[in-house]
């Protein structure tokens, strides 16, 4: 059978703008492709590049004539996947269509649309696609907690509750990195003091060494996806995969890579022993950093350059509301530990739709106190699959909350007039840019990269500044009307 795996295009202009700073390979589809074993054939089509996704998909369908098309789907891609599935039904009605990924795992009922899909796949996909292909080949029916036949009477029962538990990592396929054009994926890189970088945009691979996180932050769906468990790969297996990656830069997409310090240390030591010299970026919680400062020093030697930390806020009340399980002092110490270890901090901070002008001003002061650091800001938005979503969805103002679930568009009414809110919000990015370590450390970069950064930064800032325009008038009217 011929299988085509499709990463959908990005509908929101803002998502496309952010892709000009960081565009990672479709690791989800590469792993699913690894589960498609010979004699089946598999290809990946990444529609997040290019301007004409429908034409590109039509061309691919005509050239390949796949028997099965599989979509990867995060919640903010659900609308795009619908559009593309509709096109496949017209152009190649014989193809079966499956949709998997985070959205299929947490909101399967949203995809129970027989006119568009044949199967919804929940949970890990490389194991599920083996079962699905085997059933399709035999002409047998399939219905279990991982592969749900769309429109079938048992769909509703199978869609209830959390997705199936993640399988043992030894059963999960290795990613088929060879199926994508690797020159297209990059991550902006800050560099060290006074360093001369060959490029600000090195080619970057992504890789996963663990799944899940035992914490339960209120805005995050990971505990629902992974059943609150932390599933870890064996250090030797991790290092074998890192060594096999062609790129020198690797972005770890683990939810939290350092939760088990023994395993994390073993990986770093193996990398050093085997002389695997690459540069890494990863996510870590501030309390993990405070609990194991030596681990981060060791990882620095092994090549860890940037750590993304969901600091979220430097205010005790906000951290408590997010159920973050850390206090502002832990966040401050984590910032200091990373600085001492010579690791660049990427600080992720949350803006509440409830913010007043004073709240924004306080966040500006926080930014200055954390600097120099890479900074990103998101708007607090409930994720489907969380209690937070269930408790607040009646108040949503976004016309399509899934499509607007990019943590930039507010789902809930803002206290300030929406236009004012986004003006302040875009200024945060400007302030963050001014404190970027790359600027503070006087890192030298090629002029063409500088121009590219300025151009994409200006476009992103402008899009953020005018984000209120994406909402209909009634949604804007539901927000605060105070003078700013």
Looking only at the bridges linking them, the beta strands covering 344-351 and 304-312 are parallel
- Give the SS3 label for residue 351: strand
| 103 makes contact with ligand B12 (CB under 6 A) | yes
CB of 272 to ligand B12, least distance (A): 25
Question: Among residues 212 and 417, whose Cβ is nearest to ligand B12?
Answer: 212
Q: With respect to ligand B12, which residue has the nearer C-beta, 24 or 152?
A: 24
28 binds ligand B12 (CB under 6 A): yes
Of ligand SF4, ligand B12, none, which one sits near residue 285, judging by CB under 5 to 8 A according to partner kind? ligand SF4
Roughly what angle, to the nearest 10 degrees, separates helices 261-273 and 293-302? 30
Count of C-beta atoms within a 10 Å radius of residue 160 = 10
Pairing label, strands 249-252, 22-23? unpaired
d(CA 482, CA 417): 6
Minimum CB distance to ligand B12 smaller for 256 or for 359: 256
Burial 424-460 (b: 16+ CB within 10 A, else e): bbbebbebbbebbbbeebebebeeeeeebbeebbeeb
The entry of ligand SF4, ligand B12, none near residue 28 (CB within 5 to 8 angstroms by kind) is ligand B12
Q: Prior bond to 342 cis, omega within 30?
A: no
Q: Select the span of 109-117, 122-130, 236-244, 451-459 touching ligand B12 (CB under 6 A).
A: 122-130
Q: How far is the CB of 74 from ligand SF4 (least distance, A)?
A: 15
Kindly state whether residue 256 participates in binding ligand B12, applying the rule CB under 6 A: no
110 or 265, CB closer to ligand B12?
Answer: 110
Cα 240 to the chain's mean position, in Å?
24
Kind plus residue range of the DSSP H or E element containing 357 = helix 357-370
Task: List residues binding ligand SF4 (CB under 6 A).
Answer: 213, 215-217, 220, 222-223, 255-256, 285, 310
- Residue 287: other Cβ atoms inside 10 A: 17
Count residues contacting ligand B12 (CB under 6 A)? 42
* Nearest-approach distance from CB 484 to ligand B12, in angstroms: 26
Task: Check residue 75 for interaction with ligand B12 (CB under 6 A).
Answer: yes
Choose which of 81, 121, 200, 207 interacts with ligand B12 (CB under 6 A).
121
Tell me which stretch binds ligand B12 (CB under 6 A): 38-46, 101-109, 197-205, 336-344: 101-109
> What minimum distance in Å lies between the beta carbon of 241 and ligand SF4?
22
Binding status of residue 382 toward ligand B12 by CB under 6 A? no
Q: Which stretch binds ligand B12 (CB under 6 A): 96-104, 239-247, 426-434, 468-476?
A: 96-104
Which alpha helices (H) appear in 306-356, and where do they start and end? 316-321, 328-341
Calpha distance 91→7 (Å, rounded):
18
**Which of ligand B12, ligand SF4, none is residue 215 near (CB under 5 to 8 Å by kind)?**
ligand SF4
How far lies 256's CA from each of 210, 286, 442, in Å? 8, 11, 30
């Amino acid at each position: 059978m011929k299988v085509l795996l499709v990463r959908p295009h990005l509908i929101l202009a803002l998502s496309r703008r952010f892709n000009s700073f960081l565009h990672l390979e479709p690791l989800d589809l590469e792993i699913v492709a690894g589960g498609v074993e010979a004699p089946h054939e598999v290809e990946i089509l990444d529609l997040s590049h290019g301007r004409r996704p429908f034409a590109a998909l039509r061309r691919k369908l005509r050239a390949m004539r796949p028997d099965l098309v599989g979509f990867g789907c995060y919640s903010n891609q659900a609308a795009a996947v619908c559009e593309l599935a509709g096109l496949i039904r017209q152009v190649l009605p014989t193809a079966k269509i499956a949709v998997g990924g985070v959205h299929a795992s947490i909101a399967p009922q949203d995809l129970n649309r027989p006119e568009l899909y044949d199967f919804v796949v929940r949970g890990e996909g490389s194991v599920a696609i083996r079962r699905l292909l085997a059933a399709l080949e035999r002409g047998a029916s399939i219905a279990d907690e991982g592969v749900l036949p769309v429109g079938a009477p048992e769909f509703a029962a199978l869609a209830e509750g959390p997705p199936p538990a993640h399988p043992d990592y030894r059963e999960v396929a290795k990613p088929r990195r060879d199926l994508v054009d690797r020159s297209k994926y990059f991550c902006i890189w800050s560099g060290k003091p006074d360093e001369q970088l060959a490029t600000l945009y090195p080619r970057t691979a992504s890789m996963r060494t663990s799944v899940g996180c035992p914490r339960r932050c209120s805005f995050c769906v990971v505990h629902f996806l992974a059943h609150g468990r932390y599933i870890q790969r064996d250090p030797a297996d991790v290092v074998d995969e890192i060594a096999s990656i062609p790129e020198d830069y690797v972005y770890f997409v683990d939810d939290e890579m350092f939760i088990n310090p023994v395993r994390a240390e073993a990986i770093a030591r193996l990398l050093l022993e085997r002389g695997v010299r690459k540069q890494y970026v990863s996510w870590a919680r501030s309390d993990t950093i405070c609990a194991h400062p030596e681990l981060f020093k060791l990882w620095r030697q092994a090549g860890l350059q940037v750590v993304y930390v969901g600091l979220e806020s430097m205010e005790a009340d906000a951290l408590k509301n997010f159920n973050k399980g850390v206090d502002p002092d832990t966040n401050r110490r984590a910032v200091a530990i990373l600085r001492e270890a010579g690791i660049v901090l990427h600080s992720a901070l949350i803006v509440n739709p409830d913010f007043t002008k004073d709240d924004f001003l306080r966040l500006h002061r926080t930014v200055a106190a954390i600097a120099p650091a890479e900074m990103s800001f998101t708007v607090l938005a409930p994720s489907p699959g969380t209690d937070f979503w269930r408790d607040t969805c009646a108040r949503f103002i976004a016309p399509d909350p899934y499509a607007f679930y990019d943590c930039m568009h507010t789902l809930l009414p803002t206290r300030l007039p929406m236009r004012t809110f986004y003006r302040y919000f875009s200024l945060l990015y400007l302030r963050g840019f001014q404190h970027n370590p790359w600027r503070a450390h006087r890192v030298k970069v090629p002029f063409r990269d500088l121009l590219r950064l300025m151009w994409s930064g200006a476009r992103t800032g402008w899009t953020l500044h005018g984000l209120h325009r994406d909402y209909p008038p009634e949604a804007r009217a539901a927000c605060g009307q105070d003078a700013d």
